[in-house]
Amino acid sequence: MDGPFTTWLSAWRQGDLAARDRLVQAAYPELRAIAQRQLGGERAGHTLQATALVNEAYMRLSGLERIDWKDRVHFVHMAARIMREVLVDHARRRAAHKRDGGERMSLTQIELAAGEDGGIDIEALDSALEALERLDPDKARIVELRYFGGLTIEETAEALDLSPATVKRHWQVARTWLFETLSAVG
3-state secondary structure the chain: CHHHHHHHHHHHHCCCHHHHHHHHHHHHHHHHHHHHHHHHCCCCCCCCCHHHHHHHHHHHHHCCCCCCCCCHHHHHHHHHHHHHHHHHHHHHHHHHHCCCCCCCCCCCCCCCCCCCCCCCCHHHHHHHHHHHHHHCHHHHHHHHHHHHCCCCHHHHHHHHCCCHHHHHHHHHHHHHHHHHHHHHHC
User: What residues make up the domain containing 163?
Assistant: 2-185
Identify the pLDDT of residue 115.
Answer: 31
Task: Give residue-wise pLDDT tens across range 99-134.
Answer: 333 333 222 233 333 234 445 677 788 888 899 999
pLDDT, greater one: 160 or 91: 160
Q: Write down the pTM of the prediction.
A: 0.56
Identify the pLDDT of residue 113.
Answer: 30
Identify the pLDDT of residue 17.
Answer: 80
The domain total for the chain is 1
Residue 23 has pLDDT above 60, yes or no: yes
Task: Give residue-wise pLDDT tens across range 30-55.
Answer: 888 888 887 776 665 566 788 888 88
Segment 148-166 shows an average pLDDT of 86
Segment 67-85 shows an average pLDDT of 84
